[in-house]
Copies of this chain bind each other. A is one copy, B any other.
Amino acid sequence: MKKSTATLKQIAANLQLSVSTISRALNNNANISEVTRNKVKKEATRLNYIPCSMAKSFRNRRTNIVGVIVPSITHSFTGIILKGILLETDRIGYKTIICETNDNPEKEKELLNQMLEFGVDGILISLSKFTTDLSPLLKVLEKKPIILFDKVSDKIPCTQIVTNEVAAAFSAVEHLISIGKKRIAIVKEKQGSFNSEKRFVGYLKALDQYRYPLDETLIFDVLNMSIDEGELLTEYIFGLKEKPDAIFCVTDCLAIGVIKTLNKYNVKIPDEIAVVGFSNSNYSTVIKPNLTTIKQPGQQIGKLAVKQLMEELGNDNDFFSSKSIEVNTKLIVRESTFVL
C-alpha cells in the first residue's frame, strides 16, 4: 500500500497541541519552549513527518524553484552551464525546472508562460536561435525576474551574463596574425545568432587594427554550428583556387569538422592552414592536432546567473535592468596553431 504522510494536524492531535504550535516548533520559532519544541520534533520524527513544500509554497507565494530554459540540453557547453546552475541552486536550497526549446520560438513562448503558471521564483534563459519577437519575455519581466545567459540579446531589458565575445574573438584572430598568417578566414553562422555576430565583430576589429585588408571571399557562412557543416564547408574551401592560411571558427564543433576534412586531404595543420575554435569543448584535446580555442568559464556563468537572480529576487523594485555581467575568456593555444 502507498503510505500517506503525516501532517501538522496529526502531530498536533497526538500531542494535544495546536497546529500553530507545531508549525512554530518545527520552524524553530523563538517563542516556543525548549520542552515543547523537543516533544514536537520527536513526534514528527516518529511519524515520519515530511513537510509539504507545495502547501508552504502556496501559502508563502514562493516556490524556491527557478525555471531554466535552454535550446538543447545535449549541447556540451550548455551542459556545463547547467552544472553551474545546479551546483549553485542546490547550495542555496533551490530546485530547478529545466526545459528545452530546441530553438523553436513558439515553444519558448509557451515555456515562458508555463513557468509563470508553475510559479517559479525566477527564470534563467538562453535564447533560441530564431527568437525575434521579444514580447513574451517582456511580459514575463513584468512579474518575475529573468536572467539571460550564453545566448543573449541586448534588446531585452534584463540582466545578462555574457562572455566578452568581441574581445575573445579579437584575441583569437590576433593570435593567428602573430604566427604570421595572412589570409585569415572566418566561419560563422548565416542566421547570425547574437554570439556569432559578436565574434564576427571581433574578427573585423582585429583585421582592422592590424591593417589587414578585409577580404569578403574569406568570410564563410554555415547553416548551423555542427561538425558536419564544418566538414561540408571545408570540402567547398578545398575546391577554391585561393585558399585561406588560417580559419577562425566561431564554435569548436565547426573547427572539429574543418580539421577532420583538412586531415582527410592531408593538409598540414597549422603550417598550411591553422585552425582556431571557440569554447574549449572536450573535443579540443581529442582531435589531432589538438585544437587552439577560447575557454569560456561555463560553470561560473551558471553560478553567476543564479546569484544574480537571487539578488534581484531580494529587490523591491521591478525586474527591468540593463545590467550586463561579463566573465573572462582565455585563449588556449594548442597544436592547431602552434608547433613545438
Measuring CB to CB, which residues of chain A are less than 8 angstroms from any residue of chain B?
A: 1-5, 50-55, 57-58, 63, 65, 72-74, 76, 79-80, 82-83, 86-87, 90, 95-100, 113-114, 116-119, 142-143, 227, 256, 260, 263, 282-283, 285-288, 318-319
Q: Which of B80, B83, B114, B287 contacts A100 (CB 8 A)?
A: B83
- Asked whether B318 lies within 8 Å of A2 as measured between CB atoms, the reply is yes
Chain B residues with CB under 8 A of A4: 143
Shortest A7–chain B CB gap in Å is: 12
A290 to chain B, nearest CB (A): 10
CB pair B3–A142 under 8 Å, yes or no, is yes
A-B contact pairs, 13 of them (CB 8 A): A53-B117, A54-B58, A54-B119, A65-B97, A72-B83, A74-B80, A76-B76, A83-B100, A87-B100, A90-B99, A283-B283, A283-B286, A286-B287
- Chain B residue nearest to A59 in the complex (CB): B58
A288 to B286, CA, bound (A): 9
With A2-B143, A74-B79, A286-B286 already in contact, the answer to whether A96 and B95 are too (CB < 8 A) is no
Shortest beta-carbon contacts, A-B, top 6:
A74-B79, A54-B119, A53-B117, A3-B142, A58-B58, A53-B118
Shortest distance from the beta carbon of A296 to any chain B beta carbon, whole Å: 14
B95 and A97 contacting across the interface, CB-CB below 8 Å:
yes
